[in-house]
Amino acid sequence: MATPTISQTLVPGAFGPAVALSCRECGERYELGPKFACEFCFGPLEVAYEFGTVTREQIAAGPNNIWRYAPLLPVPADVASKPNLNPGFTKLVETRNLGRELGIKNLYVKDDSGNPTHSFKDRVVAIAVEAARNFGFTTLSCSSTGNLAGAVGAAAARAGLRSCVFIPSDLEAGKVVTAAAYGGELVAIEGNYDEVNRFCSELIGDPAGEGWGFVNVNLRPYYGEGSKTLAYEIAEQLGWRLPEQIVIPIASGSQLTKIDKGFRELIKLGLVEDTPYRVFGAQAEGCSPVSAAWKAGHDVIRPVKPDTIAKSLAIGNPADGPYVLDVCKRTGGAVEDVDDVRVVEAIKLLARTEGIFGETAGGVTVGCLKKLVETGQLDPAASTVVLNTGDGLKTLDAIEATTGATATIRPSLESFREAGLA
Amino acid sequence: MTVSVRIPTILRTYTGGAAEVSADGATLAEVIESLEKSYPGIAARVLDDTGKLRRFVNVYVNDDDVRFAEGLATATPDGGNVSVIPAVAGGC
């Protein structure tokens, strides 16, 4: 996993305000290095910071991408000058029609399909690339349900690194092609995501994986921090205030916990007022281990074997699941799930009401938003943000059976009228 | 019953750097006991204070996650493979 002496060769300031890795379970601290699990309890390692003074003005003067928040991330101060995809600062769309249809007064969609490879994964990979550079890794890798594979391939291409990524062999064609287009190696494994992930964990402990930076394994503590930028952007785009409610999809659960971390940091740094917010998690019914634990009142996640069209969320053994339960409980939120039929309906609902074509994960999140309102769990009078984390063009398979031309007619007015379109 | 156990990097300080070791036992619990005899201290890294598998450890017997089987009581067939892997990997 780690070359023990590697951190001794780090350039001062290579990780900006980050000072150590800290175990989220037992608090044990480690030097910054390519480590991801605590040597004592196997708990996840997180980046610990000593922030300097950060002002709204300083942030506003930065570039229109995630590097405007560089003083809050484990990256060097000159990060924006390095070859990177520079993702982020995607649109926060104030909805009119969707909010009205769902009966929610102030509803916003944070549309992360606007990132360079069309999903939020560009945010996390951008941070991981900087860490890979710092640690001297020459190959960038990951286990992926598709979006991450593309983000890693593209970021490696830009950074001049080799990439070799691993995906389950049954992914949507759109995900496979868009990931392969960047020219790195793309390896399909006969198994589900959890099996791919397990393979990567074994590869990393083997000489064959030496010199490899796995963005979501040995670089995971750094990588995960990229999701905090969603929280920073949402708050800044709302005029430096926190939303009262936010609905976030759950795969491993990392994104949800990091958005919460981002909000808390903004409060601590005095960048936003300390106002209460509720965090809601969204899963597909066919892969809902976190939702099942939430509803049963358990604090342990029982892994499941996924069966859902929302393949980007199909992680049956979610690493951050227990922490999702903690965040939702602490903030007064909840975890919900919807079946695949409602996922497809929600993709179409978001598209026809706001002109945003989300991928299946977006369908899960909007579907859960609708269900949370219908079941009275979410307050329709409170300001609410819902995340669309990816682009519908990558998951056309999910809706092509029920979406297509309204009619096929001859090029004549008569034919147009006959089809009942006039 | 002898099985082969894959050791994750963070536990290799106990096995003298070995990535794969042999252990005996008819169940996962017995295999861990056997590992402890050969490599004192290793069991406490994998099991919590109450003797259960730590929540961030995944253990596979012949490619099957023991949480889908009988946990520590999962049978470990002679000549089989046991893999111990940190759970905090993957996804986002």
- Considering only alpha carbons, which residue of chain B is nearest residue A257? B92
- To probe the interface with B, which of A1, A35, A42, A290 has the most B CB atoms within 10 Å? A42
Q: How confident is the model at residue A6 (pLDDT cuts 50, 70, 90)?
A: very low
Residues in chain B with CB shorter than 8 Å from the CB of A224 are: 92
pLDDT grade for A7, boundaries at 50, 70 and 90: very low
Q: Where are the domains of chain B?
A: 2-86
Q: What is the pLDDT of residue B89?
A: 74
Nearest in space to A307 (alpha carbons), one of A338, A340, A281: A340
Give A205's pLDDT tier (boundaries 50, 70, 90). Answer: confident
Query: Could you say which of B8, B67, B87 has the minimum Cβ distance to residue A302?
Result: B67
**Nearest-Cα residue of chain B relative to residue A203:** B8
Cβ–Cβ gap A41/B67 under 8 Å:
no
Beta-carbon separation of B9 and A223 below 8 A: no
User: In angstroms, rounded to a whole number, what is the distance separating the alpha carbons of residues B3 and B35?
Assistant: 11
User: For A6-53+121-223, CATH number?
Assistant: 3.40.50.1100
Query: Are A124 and B89 within 8 A, CB to CB?
Result: no
* Residues from B in contact with A at Cβ < 8 Å: 6, 8-10, 13, 19, 45, 48, 54-58, 60, 65, 67-68, 83, 85-92
The residues of chain A that CATH labels 3.40.50.1100 are: 6-53+121-223, 91-118+227-398
Q: Into which CATH architecture does domain B2-86 fall?
A: Roll (3.10)
Give CA–CA dist B86/A221, Å, rounded.
Answer: 14
Q: Which residues contact A386 (CB under 8 A, 6 or more apart)?
A: A107, A108, A109, A110, A246, A247, A365, A366, A369
Q: Which of A121, A216, A124, A200 is nearest to A168 (CA)?
A: A200
Residue B27: pLDDT band with limits 50, 70, 90:
very high
First-residue to last-residue Cα distance in chain B: 39
Buried-exposed string A242-254: b where 16+ CB fall within 10 A, e elsewhere: bbbbbbbbbbbbb
Over residues A213-229, the mean pLDDT reads 97
- Name the residue type at position B56: F
pLDDT, mean of residues A21-33: 96
B92: pLDDT confidence band, cut at 50, 70 and 90? low
- Supply the pLDDT for residue A83: 96
How do strand A185-189 and strand A162-168 relate by DSSP bridges? parallel
Examine the pLDDT at A4 and tell me if it is beyond 70: no
Where does the pLDDT of residue A300 fall: very low under 50, low under 70, confident under 90, or very high at 90 and above? Answer: confident
In tens, the pLDDT along A262-292 reads 999 999 999 999 999 999 999 999 999 999 9
Question: For B88, which of A121, A204, A220 is closest by C-beta distance?
Answer: A220
Residue-wise burial string across A38-74, b where 16 or more C-beta atoms lie within 10 A, e elsewhere: bbebbbbbbbbbeeeebeeeebeeeeebbbbbbbbbb
| pLDDT tens, residue by residue, A355-410 | 999 999 999 999 999 999 999 999 999 999 999 999 999 999 999 999 999 999 99
Given A37, A124, A197, which is nearest B90 (Cβ)?
A197
Question: Looking at chain A, which residue has its C-alpha nearest residue B17?
Answer: A205
Which of A2, A251, A302 is nearest residue B92 as measured by Cβ atoms?
A251
**Model confidence at A70: pLDDT above 80:** yes
Chain A residue with the nearest C-alpha to that of B13 = A39
If you count residue pairs, one on A and one on B, with CB atoms under 8 Å apart, how many are there? 112
The mean pLDDT of chain A is: 95
Contact B10 A37 (CB under 8 A): yes
Q: Considering chain A, what percentage of its residues have pLDDT values greater than 90?
A: 90
pLDDT range class, residue A255, cuts 50, 70, 90 = very high
- Tell which CATH architecture fits domain A91-118+227-398: 3-Layer(aba) Sandwich (3.40)
Contact: B86, A224; criterion CB under 8 Å:
no
pTM: 0.94
